[in-house]
Structure 1
Amino acid sequence: MSASPSPQPPPPQPTLVPATESSPAHSPANTHPDFSLSSLQQFIADSQDPQKSKLDPKPTYPPELHHLALQVAHNIRFQQEWTDIRVHYRPSARTTAAALPRPILSGLPPRRLYVHPDEQIDVLRQQREQGKAGWPDLAAEREWVLPTHLRETWALRRFAEVFDALATVPAEDEGSGLFPAPNGARRPQQSQQSQQQGDDVSKWRRSQPKRLLLSTVDDDSTVVYYIVHDGIVKPRQN
């Protein structure tokens, strides 16, 4: 006869203790929390700190418009290498507008962004008269930057309201500076030299319609820029 094996007792079940505030669960996420902020997030957070920010403490705009302007300012500073970036909450003193529709930026790009066709012809003529070949390095000009989001719907009337509140050329003594200048200077030395070099060609800027750089931000933080004029301009020649 074969003896059948005796039944074995079931193994003891572990006692489960629910995690409470007095006995937290030791998961990796809770043991090593990561509270670090990105450079952009830190920049926006500092702008809301009265002790760190020099901006208007009570901007009369919705927070999303203010944050959108700061996001674009961060992009043109660290991605496009602009300098002397300022945010404007009030219309230009040389206009009669009562208010700005939203915060507007101004700054100095590292190189010229736009050359009018008539100025292009004049520059090439001067190069030929001086016996020089190629295209010279033209001095950069201060530009307006209009922060927008891709989900917004814009019409000509909205653009007209923005242009009516802006001067042809941004004034360097208006607005609030967003980034410290190198070596504690109010303005970068390069921008002062560029302004002096650009005195003889500034007539093209003053005599032409107003222009701005339309910055369009997508949900993935991609920023695309377009040059927009207040009116009809002559097509550029390639």
Structure 2
Amino acid sequence: MDLANTVAHNLKYQHSWNDVEVVKVGDWHLCKGTPPKLLHPEDAEKTVEYVLPSRTEGKWTVSQWSQVFSAINAVNGSPCRRVIMAMATSDGTIVYYFVNNGIVRPRKN
């Protein structure tokens, strides 16, 4: 099973995401789906999220991230404010990180 399908399987069966599918966006295979609940306290509503599968050995540059956001924007027709990076380790563990498009103000306590 390739990495994108492994991450899609994890999102669907471990994290209960809905409508999970692997889509080709630009040069990347991303997972797309809707989480069962809000992922961040400041989210107003549940929306479709994009997840970028990657290995922990991968090295990402700001330029590459810019290309990912631009490719998603071209597909969506609207700005994408964040992508979730799925970091897969050699032992099969998948850890998820938010990557925001631009600077995000810190949360209010």
Q: What TM-score comes out, normalization by structure 1 length?
A: 0.42
- Structure 1, unmatched stretches of 5+, are 1-43, 45-66, 92-99, 120-137, 172-205
- Structure 2, unmatched stretches of 5+, are none
Once the two structures are superposed, the pairs formed by residues 138-217 of structure 1 within 5 Å of their partners are 139-167=45-73, 210-217=81-88
Aligned residues: 109
Once the two structures are superposed, the pairs formed by residues 1-238 of structure 1 within 5 Å of their partners are 44=1, 67-89=2-24, 91=25, 100-116=26-42, 139-167=45-73, 210-238=81-109
Shift of 1:108: 0.5
Q: Which has the higher strand share?
A: 2
Shift of 1:170: 5.4
Distance 1:227 1:69, change over 3 A: same
Q: Which has the higher helix share?
A: 1
Percentage identity across paired residues of the two chains: 33
Q: What TM-score comes out, normalization by structure 2 length?
A: 0.87
CA distance in 1, matches of 2:74, 2:27: 17
Q: Which amino acid aligns with 2:70?
A: D
Coordinate RMSD, CA, aligned: 2.4
CA distance in 2, matches of 1:170, 1:115: 24
Structure number with larger C-alpha Rg: 1
Partner SS, residue 160 of structure 1: helix
Shift of 1:169: 9.1
Runs of 4+ in 1 over 2 A off after TM superposition: 167-171
